[in-house]
């Protein structure tokens, strides 16, 4: 039994378009909000998102809209796939058009600068009552181009109400797209955001010409500090050993399609961050998340040395080789941290 007859998807980047295409191919009517009016017009005329996902014909069940209200109103299920820095303002615009009990699945991986809130926490802050919308988070190792080409993929949907999570699980799952459920929404969201910062570190390592030893160490110790912060904030430790944790971390740190790894790669090669970002049409969430993690770790009293060095390289102009040296010269530690 499926959860809905139609779905609203807010955000037409590569992942938003892929989710829309995936659900449309499964038989749902999908209304997709496209922020850029000229792109929306092009998508309607050519049936292709030639900016964010070129080369794939949009399914007939997928309808692009430039008006946010058309995508939000009347849908029981809405998927949010906008960048974290515009998430709040988009949610504010959506709120008047939502109905009580709407299921919102957040597929954005980031932490809001300034407030240091996760995306679901923004909704909890904005909604008129604690049960007005039902929040879930969708995360895991899933490059858009591989999903749209139907490469077997597994991700996780997390929410406190497991029955709602199971309904969303059934809605998204196909024979090439397997969805697991989780009760740990906080852990899934944190893992999805934090891994992008470690992916920038992995890219820097590759850009500096270091080998597999260095990358393996970064991934392993990066996972340790992700888990440290997550547990301190009330997440379940095992979530970081799952799809949204180590699964997505491995993908983003090693895959050539990873925007965050590509940013790090160019930083390691000596490029300036403003120059790198100026060349990018799509968002690398780890750049802004590095700033949020710096202040979040400080607030929570959690040591996150790799994430801190990424912050220093991006936002304070530290040379990547200096960052590596400082990491390697830190005081010696015991690997396992037992409370």
Catalytic residues: 195
Tokens of 101: 């009990």
Which single residue is written with the structure tokens 């309904």?
167
* CA triple 84-88-92, angle to 5 deg: 150
**Please, what's the largest Cα pairwise distance for the chain?**
61
* Residues 6+ away with beta carbon under 8 Å from 65: 31, 32, 33, 34, 40, 71
Structure tokens that stand for 35 in this block: 């922020």
Sheet holding 177-182, edge to edge: 62-65, 29-33, 6-10, 77-80, 102-106, 133-139, 153-158, 177-182
Q: How far is CA 315 from CA 118, 203, 273, 287, 320, in A?
A: 21, 16, 9, 9, 12
181: its two tokens: 């459920």
Distances (CA, A) of 121 to 111, 189, 192, 199: 10, 10, 15, 24
**Rounded Cα–Cα distance for residues 147 and 153 (Å):** 7
Tokens 């679901």 locate to 120
Residue 283: CB partners within 8 Å, gap ≥ 6?
A: 13, 83, 85, 259
Question: Please, what sign has the CA dihedral across residues 314, 318, 320, 322?
Answer: negative
- 194, 285 Cβ separation under 8 angstroms: no
């Amino acid at each position: 039994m499926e959860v809905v007859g139609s779905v609203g998807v807010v955000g037409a980047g590569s992942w938003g378009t892929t989710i829309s295409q995936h659900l449309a191919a499964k038989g749902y009517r999908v209304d997709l909000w496209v922020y850029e009016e000229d792109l929306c017009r092009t998508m309607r005329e050519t049936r292709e998102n030639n900016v964010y996902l070129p080369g794939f014909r949009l399914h007939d069940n997928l309808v692009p809209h430039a008006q946010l209200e058309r995508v939000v109103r009347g849908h029981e299920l809405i998927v949010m796939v906008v960048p974290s820095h515009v998430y709040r303002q988009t949610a504010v615009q959506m709120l008047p058009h939502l109905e009580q009990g709407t299921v919102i699945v957040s597929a954005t991986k980031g932490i809001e600068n300034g407030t240091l809130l996760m995306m679901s926490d923004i909704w909890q802050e904005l909604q008129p009552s604690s049960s007005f919308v039902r929040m879930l988070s969708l995360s895991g190792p899933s490059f858009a181009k591989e999903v749209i080409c139907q490469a077997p993929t597994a991700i996780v949907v997390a929410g406190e109400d497991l029955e709602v999570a199971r309904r969303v699980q059934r809605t998204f799952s196909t024979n090439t797209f397997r969805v697991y459920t989780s009760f740990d929404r906080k852990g899934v969201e944190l893992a999805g955001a934090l891994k992008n910062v470690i992916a920038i570190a992995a890219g820097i390592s590759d850009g500096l010409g270091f080998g597999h030893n260095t990358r393996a160490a970064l991934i392993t110790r990066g996972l340790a500090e992700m888990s440290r912060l997550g547990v301190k904030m009330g997440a379940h430790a095992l979530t970081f050993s799952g799809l949204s944790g180590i699964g997505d971390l491995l993908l983003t740190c090693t895959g050539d399609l990873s925007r965050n790894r590509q940013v790090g790669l160019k930083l390691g090669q000596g490029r300036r961050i403003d120059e790198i970002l100026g060349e990018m049409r799509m968002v690398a969430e780890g750049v802004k998340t590095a700033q949020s993690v710096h202040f979040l770790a400080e607030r929570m009293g959690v040591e996150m040395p790799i994430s801190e060095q990424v912050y220093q390289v991006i936002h304070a102009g530290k040379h990547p080789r200096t960052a590596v040296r400082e990491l390697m010269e830190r005081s010696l530690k015991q690997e396992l941290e037992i409370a």
